[in-house]
Structure 1
Amino acid sequence: MSLQQSIHLPSPQALLFFEEKNEHPAHDKPSHILMPQVREDAGCQAPRAHEGALYPFYTPSDPLVLDEEVLVSPMHPLEWRRRCQQARMLVQHFRTPLPEQGEDFQMKRVLELETDPHSEWLRQLASRRPTTQIIGVTSQAIYARQAAFFAAVQGCHNVYLQMCPLTRPLPFPAESMDLISGRFLHATLPEYAWPLLLDDCFRLLRPGGVLRLLECVQGASTSAAAGTLCAFYWHQMDRLRAVARPSLPGTRTMRLSRPELLPARIEKSGFVALEQHESLLDFSAGTPFHSTLREQADDFYQLVAPLCTRHESPLAREVYQQVYHEMQLELLEPTFRGSWHLCTIWGYKPSGRVPRTIPSIQVEHPIPQSLRPCSQPCSLLITSE
């Protein structure tokens, strides 16, 4: 695997969590509150005094599903807004839908996995490549209708929508796509479905086609309260995972899929010439993304509040709300710093001895008739199995 472009990142810090037991006379059972602590590894340089300590921060790749259980409904208004804001931020951050590929990269059909309700990425790519068929797949019918509406309003007549869960085989012919793109799929795709989806992407791509996936591998900020809420969240996820997948004596429970393991999974599915592009999305105070990330964090911790306080004592739920409000105040401080470490990974389907795109190859498979151009929003569009 080669690293096409990278940026210098600060030395990572090990983050420890310990349980603080608060006794309360009104409750017989003590509450266990996870508090983040920062420890510097040996050999790592200490942050300068004005930089402050960094704590874990919510990321858009944090999982919201566990096996077949959906922990946060995609139809929740806050989740709807969160996904739309994420897509808009990425459009502004990268400024081009495919920063890794040149304009000479020939594409007849492009597929996006889990399109957002406003079809931000689809519309941006469609406006730049009017002769390319841009297809979006989503598991929510209302997402598809809304995305088709926005594309029709903008006049992107080369955009198509299809409703299909990513846990099922995608309803397209083999070798019919030139590029398949997805972002933050770790948030909504169950762990068991990853090998199935990657194999299906390999089937759909033509020889020399590209699979492109974007994930957030780490989030960090100077908000200690945000780090505490992260501890609440991951502690509860570990508890739910242990209940759903009880381990045998002397063994460890299977861990959730992690974004940093994605390159190995892509390579195992048969893709070659894997490359990565890393970038930091800075949302510190005073940056263009600061206000949006404040809303993102607010929405996320409201959405997972029932999950984080499930089966907890009333005192623990009260503490969660208190820490949540502390986070809101800390994110408003003028010295607040925070960032997401984004990583785009892409690989090629082998094409004989040439693992790169071959412009002369033309795919003649037709798109299924169930797809309708978004120029006809009233007679649209969506078919389900």
Structure 2
Amino acid sequence: MERASSQENSYIFDTESAVEMARLIDQARFMNREIGGALTGLPELAPNSHVLDLGCGPGGWVLDVAFEYPDITITGIDISEIMVAYAQARTRTQKLSNAIFAVMDITKPLDLPDNSFDMINARLLTGVLKRETWSSLIDECTRILRSGGFLCLTEGNEFGISMSPAYEELTGYIMQATWRVGYGFSPHGRNWAMAPALPYLLRRGGYRDIHLNSYITDYSAHTPAWIDYYRNNETIFLQIKPLLLAFNLLTSEAFDQLYQRALIEMNSSEFTCVAQAIRAWGYVSKNS
């Protein structure tokens, strides 16, 4: 497998950032908790199946599957050298011989053989793939999936809907900035429109028997999920500040003021926020 350069890529944040790696570690943990498990609700995989995780980051999803299903081989690929190295280190310390990690750019043709995987997982790639790149990645998935294998796509539809003014204003600016960069499928940039996009992309790619699941989480004050959501957004907001300034959506001073107001609102006992994740999956069928 060729090593991919992480100097030029389409990820919205710095792929070699330790801060971003720490955020992704926590995000994988609480997302698996909210969904109910890495493979919950998906077709049962036969022993000796081969699974691929696209944009695996620090490897949380891969390691969870490898631990729970020792008779399955699972490969994770990501453009970040620091995150792949971290995942490989965790594989060694946990003695998970069925987990493999490699550096690879998922926006390019994949250095993987045809018909080699029974399942491909792709989760939270909205900030990685520009809207024109999704179809080519799905075509690559079709190439490397075995006939009868399935592709599973999971994305958030937006940051969450809240009744807090500063939080809504700040996330609205973020939606506009990410839309201008080229993320998501919204016609106007008020959300990412991933809920309708995922089944559409699978149908257009020739997948059949498509399933769609929705996961709603209450991140409001006093809920068990609040602290994870707060910490995740606190980091995201700071990391995305340069993008908002680049599009002249806010001045630096205006951002700082809005950011502080949003944090105050999120710390309020009256804070309300509900967020939705969408999972779509379907089977590939190939002529023999």
Sort the TM-score into its range (normalised by shorter chain).
Answer: 0.7 to 0.9
For residue 82 of structure 1, the aligned residue among 5, 23, 30 is: 23
Q: What is the match of residue 235 of structure 2?
A: 299
Q: What is the match of residue 224 of structure 2?
A: 288
Q: 1:71 to 1:201 in 2, by over 3 A?
A: closer
Higher helix share: 2
Asked if residue 322 in structure 1 is aligned to residue 257 in structure 2, the reply is yes
Letter of the structure 1 residue corresponding to residue 148 of structure 2: G
Give how far 1:170 is off.
Answer: 1.4
Asked if residue 158 in structure 1 is aligned to residue 98 in structure 2, the reply is yes
Q: 1:263 to 1:155 in 2, by over 3 A?
A: same
* d(CA) in 1 for partners of 2:32, 2:12: 27
* Greater mean deviation of Cα atoms: 217-226 or 138-147: 217-226
**Pairwise CA RMSD:** 2.7
Give how far 1:96 is off.
Answer: 2.0
* Structure 2: gaps spanning 5 or more residues: 1-7
TM-score in terms of structure 1 length = 0.66
> CA contact under 8 A between 2:12 and 2:128: conserved in structure 1?
no
> CA contact under 8 A between 1:214 and 1:344: conserved in structure 2?
yes
Deviations 1:159-214 (A, max 9, x none): 01111101111122111100000101111112222111100101111111010010
* Structure 1: gaps spanning 5 or more residues: 1-66, 242-251, 353-385
Letter of the structure 2 residue corresponding to residue 301 of structure 1: F
Q: Where do residues 123-272 of structure 1 align in structure 2 (5 Å cutoff)?
A: 123-218=63-158, 219-237=160-178, 258-260=193-195, 261-272=197-208
Q: What is the match of residue 346 of structure 1?
A: 281
Letter of the structure 2 residue corresponding to residue 337 of structure 1: T
Paired residue secondary structure (1:210): strand
Q: Where do residues 26-37 of structure 1 align in structure 2 (5 Å cutoff)?
A: none
Asked if residue 273 in structure 1 is aligned to residue 273 in structure 2, the reply is no
Letter of the structure 1 residue corresponding to residue 37 of structure 2: T
Letter of the structure 2 residue corresponding to residue 133 of structure 1: T
Paired residue secondary structure (1:274): strand
Q: 1:234 to 1:104 in 2, by over 3 A?
A: closer
* d(CA) in 2 for partners of 1:163, 1:326: 39
* d(CA) in 2 for partners of 1:215, 1:232: 20
Q: 1:170 to 1:133 in 2, by over 3 A?
A: same
Paired residue secondary structure (2:126): helix
Give how far 1:257 is off.
Answer: 7.0
* Greater mean deviation of Cα atoms: 253-262 or 211-220: 253-262
* d(CA) in 2 for partners of 1:351, 1:342: 30
* d(CA) in 2 for partners of 1:126, 1:240: 35
Q: What is the match of residue 331 of structure 1?
A: 266
Q: Where do residues 98-137 of structure 1 align in structure 2 (5 Å cutoff)?
A: 98-101=39-42, 103=44, 105=46, 108-117=49-58, 119-137=59-77
* d(CA) in 1 for partners of 2:264, 2:95: 42
Give how far 1:255 is off.
Answer: 11
Give how far 1:239 is off.
Answer: 5.5
- What is the identity percentage for the equivalent residue pairs of Structure 1 and Structure 2? 25
> CA contact under 8 A between 1:78 and 1:303: conserved in structure 2?
no
Deviations 1:291-311 (A, max 9, x none): 111111111110111211236
Q: What is the match of residue 5 of structure 2?
A: none
- In the alignment of these two chains, the number of paired residues is 275
Deviations 1:37-72 (A, max 9, x none): xxxxxxxxxxxxxxxxxxxxxxxxxxxxxx966542
